């Protein structure tokens, strides 16, 4: 894919500022990135023209009211049931447990205020060779409130 710079501008490429001059020809990933970002570039081959037309169509759609294009419906959110899913599937409102070695933040988010979950995880954490003291303290507060 190729594009030609229409007017001078500066852009960050790979976290480095780069100056672009009118008439400069670019190809490959940088051409795609600049075209998609709306930079002052013009398509220089069929692939770039196709991409520009697709981007232009999407922009017109947004300007006319922001309605989604009628192609395919968006995928369902994780954990939700789709048509034909069996009712034996786990309850969608119950998030799956994170891995035992997940971050303290993720584990506490999963536990919430659930004393049973906190007790279960507290036992697992204390059984480790090196339990995380901050996690143990917070789990104790949830599992045994008022102590």
Is residue 68's pLDDT more than 80? no
Write down the pLDDT at residue 88: 53
pLDDT digits (tens, 9 = 90+) for 98-146: 776 788 888 888 888 888 888 888 888 888 888 888 888 988 888 887 7
For 104, other C-beta atoms within 10 Å of its C-beta total 13
Give the tens place of pLDDT for each residue, 81-97.
555 555 555 555 556 66
pLDDT value for 82: 54
* pLDDT higher at 61 or 23: 23
Q: Which helix (H) or strand (E) holds 28?
A: none
Distance CA 45, CA 15 (A): 27
Q: Give the pLDDT confidence of 49-62 residue by residue, as tens digits.
A: 888 888 776 665 55
How buried is residue 9: exposed, middle or buried, by Cβ count under 10 Å (0-12/13-18/19+)?
A: middle
Q: Where are the domains of the chain?
A: 2-63, 104-143
- Starting at the edge strand found earlier in the chain, the sheet holding 41-43 runs 25-27, 2-5, 41-43
């Amino acid at each position: 894919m190729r594009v030609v710079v229409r007017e001078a501008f500066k852009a960050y490429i790979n976290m480095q500022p780069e100056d672009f001059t009118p008439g400069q020809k670019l190809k490959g990933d940088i051409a795609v990135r600049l075209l998609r970002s709306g930079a002052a570039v013009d398509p220089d081959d069929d692939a770039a023209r196709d991409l520009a037309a697709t981007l232009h169509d999407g922009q017109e759609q947004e300007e006319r009211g922001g309605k989604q294009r009628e192609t395919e419906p968006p995928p369902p959110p994780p954990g939700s049931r789709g048509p034909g899913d069996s009712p034996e599937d786990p309850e969608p409102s119950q998030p799956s447990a994170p891995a035992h070695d997940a971050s303290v933040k993720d584990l506490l988010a999963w536990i919430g205020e659930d004393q049973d979950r906190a007790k279960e995880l507290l036992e697992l954490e204390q059984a480790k060779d090196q339990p995380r003291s901050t996690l143990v303290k917070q789990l104790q507060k949830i599992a045994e409130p008022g102590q």
